[in-house]
Amino acid sequence: MNNMFPIQSKTAQQIWNNFDRELIHKLKLLPEEERTDIRLEILSHLYESTMDGASEETSTEDVSLINAIEKLGSPEEYIEPLIADILIYQKASKGHPVAILQGLKSSAKKGFFHTLATLILGMGYFWVIMIFIMSVMHIINPEIGIWYHDTGAISLSFEAQPNATQWQPEWFSLIGIFVSCLAYWGLSKVLSFFIAKLK
Amino acid sequence: MESDKIIERWVPQFRKGLLEFIILLRLQQGSTYGYELAIQIKDVTSIEVAEGTLYPLLNRLKRDGLVISEWQTAEVGSPRKYYEITHLGLETLAKMKNTWTKTHNSILNMVMQS
């Protein structure tokens, strides 16, 4: 990347390299494509700002570079929000549980509509996980499943229900695991869309 | 003075909140890149914010579909990532302008009456 941003002074080149090293270190959590994109954009900004400053007669390249870094601000102000935004969005859309929890937490703090939506999504995750666990447990204990009562009521139960018929006892595990995985994926997509809309 | 300290704290927060609106207003005039945007915002509005803080905002505007970006490499100079406002961005900006005008008028009335 050094060819793209030709720096003349040796001192300025050292400062530039140090800044770039720190930038690479701070961005290491991101996927390569995002990392390169952000790094290139920040370096491009820094280079433009340095060249602008260096064109003034009173300024040298290294002083101008230091000023440019200062004007850019603290990395905590721009790198960290960028990383947090990108990571939470990507991980939540991939169904990463920690990112999902983080996403739900930040969403819940954004007012009534967001809190309501978070509750609905949270309940969705709860039932999806519950059905998945029951589907796996059904393999060991076939009584676990969905039961239809004579009264017309339906219940999820861990034991055989009197006066009730079990729904799909042979296929419950397969259907349950498949549907819960699909629903988990779907909820994560909805959540990542939701995170993307968070202001 | 106590009030000066409060104003010192209030002004950056107030200005920062307007940045997304200002970015879209600028992009409505044509595509631009981060550094140029930072300089123009500073020149036109006298808003003194760290230039880097524009990037999380631009990223968010991009994710919301209000702007798109494209890298352009010139023969001379560094590569630049140009941002352009989208149709959705223009639509959102029109609503922002409407909100801004209403709010501005209401506040102006209150200021005039005070």
Domain boundaries, chain A: 10-73, 97-196
As a whole number, mean pLDDT of residues B41-59 equals 85
The pLDDT-based confidence of A61 (bands split at 50, 70, 90) is: confident
What's the pLDDT at A80? 82
Q: With pLDDT > 90 as the criterion, what percentage of chain A qualifies? A: 26
Residue B43 C-alpha, separation from nearest chain A C-alpha, in angstroms: 14
- Higher pLDDT: A165 or A198? It is A165
- Would you call B51 and A40 a contact, using CB atoms and an 8 Å cutoff? no
Of A40, A74, A82, the CB nearest to B79: A40
User: Which of these, A42, A112, A145, A64, lies nearest to B78 by C-alpha position?
Assistant: A42
Q: CB-based contact (8 Å) between A47 and chain B?
A: yes
Q: Which residue of A has its CA nearest to B42?
A: A71
Determine which of A172-186, B3-17, B41-55 has the lowest per-residue pLDDT on average.
B3-17
Tokens describing residue A172: 């419950």
Of B55, B63, B64, the CB nearest to A41: B55
CATH code assigned at B25: 1.10.10.10
Q: CB-based contact (8 Å) between A21 and chain B?
A: no
What's the pLDDT at B27? 96
pLDDT of residue B94 exceeding 60, the answer is yes
Residue A146, C-beta contacts closer than 8 angstroms, at least 6 positions apart: A154, A155, A156, A157, A166, A167, A168, A172
Compute the mean pLDDT over every residue in chain A, rounded to the nearest whole number. Answer: 82
CA distances from residue A71 to A132, A157, A191, B37, B59 in whole angstroms, order as listed: 52, 62, 36, 14, 19
pLDDT tens digits for range A121-173: 888 989 899 999 999 999 999 889 888 887 888 888 888 888 888 888 889 99
Which amino acid appears at position A108 of this protein? A
Q: Which residues pair with A166 in a beta bridge?
A: A147
What's the pLDDT at B28? 96
- Would you call B60 and A85 a contact, using CB atoms and an 8 Å cutoff? yes
pLDDT tens digits for range A75-127: 878 888 888 777 777 666 666 676 666 666 666 666 677 777 778 888 898 98
Report how far residue B42's alpha carbon sits from residue B36's, in angstroms, rounded to the nearest whole number: 10
Number of domains in chain B: 1
Q: Does the ipTM exceed 0.90? A: no
Q: With pLDDT > 70 as the criterion, what percentage of chain B qualifies? A: 94
Q: With pLDDT > 90 as the criterion, what percentage of chain B qualifies? A: 51
Tokens describing residue B103: 């709010």
Q: Which long-range contacts (CB under 8 A, 24 or more apart) does A28-33 make?
A: A29/A83, A29/A87, A30/A83, A30/A86, A30/A87, A31/A90
The pLDDT-based confidence of A51 (bands split at 50, 70, 90) is: confident
Residue B57 C-alpha, separation from nearest chain A C-alpha, in angstroms: 9
Compute the mean pLDDT over every residue in chain B, rounded to the nearest whole number. Answer: 88
**Secondary structure letter of residue B51 according to DSSP:** G
**Is the CB of residue B69 less than 8 Å from the CB of residue B62?**
yes
Of A4, A72, A81, the CB nearest to B78: A4
- Would you call A49 and B51 a contact, using CB atoms and an 8 Å cutoff? yes
What's the pLDDT at B70? 94
Q: With pLDDT > 70 as the criterion, what percentage of chain A qualifies? A: 83
Tokens describing residue A51: 């060249």
What's the pLDDT at A199? 44
Determine which of B11-15, B92-96, B100-104 has the lowest per-residue pLDDT on average.
B11-15
Question: Quick one: how far is CA A32 from the chain centroid?
Answer: 15
Tokens describing residue A174: 């397969």
Of A37, A42, A74, the CB nearest to B50: A74
Residues in chain A closer than 8 A to B49 (CB atoms):
73
pLDDT of residue A198 exceeding 60, the answer is no
What's the pLDDT at A117? 78
pLDDT of residue B90 exceeding 90, the answer is yes
